[in-house]
């Protein structure tokens, strides 16, 4: 059996939506006879009666209702295929690699990726969170298309923008000795300091003497670190966004002897590796979600 033609599908849908041959013909910018012929041809092809006339109104028969919903589904698929064909011919990427630092705000990231998926559902995403290595290194090795990094250095042929500022609080469980008001920084050296990445990470931020003397436990990620803190297994710095509920409920307490730290996150991509529309769309989404005072740099 011959497949329903686009003209027949359009005629059927227009007639259902308008209720009359005259209104449907006007909508389609065709003469009524052409519309009548298309419907009659469809009925003969399927060997069913799709419409019946009642009070000058064209109504679907019971069988016609089934045919109509099938045609709607076919029409939707045809539109999706046409859109896919157009996008594919524009050179849309089949995959994008994104590498982000472990403190990247997850709610913002999820919102961005949802919008990307809605616009480019055929583009696969490889997302990597990293604690041991700066995401910018993946970019420089051509192993990522877009990264979120805390590396503030300038690099040749890299588009780089300040993206977000993250508050870090030194916290401990309410009953942990580190949370006592009289505790000093020297006292903290004798207590377990939970660090994502261990001493290797701590060495990038603190004096060598402090790192050498500190009692450091390595944990793999911030969610595990939060669980350790809640169980009273040590103290440590946490992104405020990840512990807001625990702070409100008094389960975790900021340490009075430690200042709040601010970490800048940067959005980066290599200028010569901008692949196509999905990559450009994703970059613009990240830019739209940057903190106010967004600064763009090219090096």
Return the structure tokens found at 41: 């041809």
Query: In sequence order, what are the beta bridge partners of 173?
Result: 252
- pLDDT exceeds cutoff 50 at 299: no
Which of residues 247 and 297 earns the better pLDDT score?
247
Strand partners, 216: 193
Mean pLDDT, residues 240-269: 93
Where is average pLDDT lowest: 37-51, 113-127, 135-149, 266-280?
Answer: 266-280
Flag the least confident range among 43-52, 75-84, 167-176, 258-267.
75-84
HEC per residue, 130-159: ECCCCHHHHHHCCCCCEEEECCCCCCCCEE
Mean pLDDT over the full length of the chain: 85
* Residue whose pair of structure tokens reads 């959005």 in the numeric block: 267
pTM confidence score: 0.59
With beta carbons less than 8 A apart as the criterion, state whether 234 and 172 touch. Answer: yes
Q: Residue 234, by phi and psi: left (phi above 0), alpha (psi -120 to 50) or beta?
A: left
Say how many residues make up the chain.
299
- Minimum mean pLDDT among 21-30, 94-103, 257-266: which range? 21-30
Q: 3-class SS at 175?
A: coil
Q: Which two tokens stand for residue 55?
A: 């009070």
First to last CA, the chain: 62
Do 229 and 235 touch, CB atoms closer than 8 A?
Answer: yes
pLDDT at 149: 93
Q: How far apart are CA 94 and CA 88, in angstroms?
A: 9
Among the residue ranges 14-18, 98-102, 130-134, the one predicted with the least confidence is 130-134
Pairwise pLDDT comparison (215 vs 293), residue with the higher score: 215
Go through the domains of the chain in sequence order and give each one's CATH number: 6-89 (1.10.10.10), 95-165+265-298 (3.40.190.10), 166-263 (3.40.190.290)
Handedness of CA 50, 53, 54, 56 (dihedral sign): positive
The partner residues of 253 in beta bridges, in order of sequence, read 172
- Bridge partners for 59 per DSSP: 52
Question: CB–CB of 135/97 below 8 Å?
Answer: no
Residue 1, pLDDT above cutoff 60: no
Label residue 203 by pLDDT band (50, 70, 90): low
- For the segment 264-274, the average pLDDT, to the nearest whole number, is 84
Q: How confident is the model at residue 287 (pLDDT cuts 50, 70, 90)?
A: very high
Q: Reply yes or no on whether the pLDDT at 198 is more than 80.
A: no
Residue 225 has pLDDT above 60, yes or no: yes
Residue 182 has pLDDT above 60, yes or no: yes
């Amino acid at each position: 059996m011959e497949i329903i033609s686009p003209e027949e599908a359009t005629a059927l849908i227009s007639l259902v939506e308008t209720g009359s041959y005259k209104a449907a013909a006007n909508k389609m910018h065709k003469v009524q006879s052409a519309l009548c012929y298309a419907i009659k041809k469809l009925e003969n092809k399927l060997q069913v009666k799709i419409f019946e006339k009642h009070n000058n109104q064209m109504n679907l028969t019971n069988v016609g209702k089934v045919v109509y919903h099938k045609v709607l589904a076919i029409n939707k698929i045809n539109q999706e295929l046409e859109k896919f064909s157009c996008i594919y011919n524009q050179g849309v990427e089949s995959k994008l690699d994104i590498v982000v630092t472990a403190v990247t705000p997850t709610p913002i990231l999820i919102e961005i990726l949802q919008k990307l998926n809605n616009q480019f559902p055929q583009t696969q995403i490889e997302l990597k969170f990293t604690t041991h290595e700066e995401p910018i290194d993946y970019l420089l090795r051509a192993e990522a298309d877009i990264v979120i990094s805390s590396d503030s250095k300038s690099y040749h042929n890299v588009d780089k923008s300040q993206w977000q500022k993250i508050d870090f609080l030194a916290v401990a469980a309410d009953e942990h000795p580190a949370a006592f008001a009289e505790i000093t920084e020297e006292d903290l050296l004798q207590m377990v300091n939970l660090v994502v990445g261990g001493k290797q990470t701590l060495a990038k931020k603190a004096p060598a003497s402090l790192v050498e003397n500190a009692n450091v436990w390595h944990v793999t990620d911030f969610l595990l670190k939060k669980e350790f803190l809640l169980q009273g297994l040590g103290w440590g710095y946490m992104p405020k966004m990840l512990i807001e509920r625990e702070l409100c409920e008094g389960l975790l307490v900021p340490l009075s002897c430690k200042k709040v730290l601010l970490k800048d996150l940067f959005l980066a991509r290599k200028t010569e590796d901008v692949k196509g529309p999905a990559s450009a769309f994703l970059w613009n989404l990240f830019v739209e979600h940057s903190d106010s005072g967004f600064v763009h740099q090219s090096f």
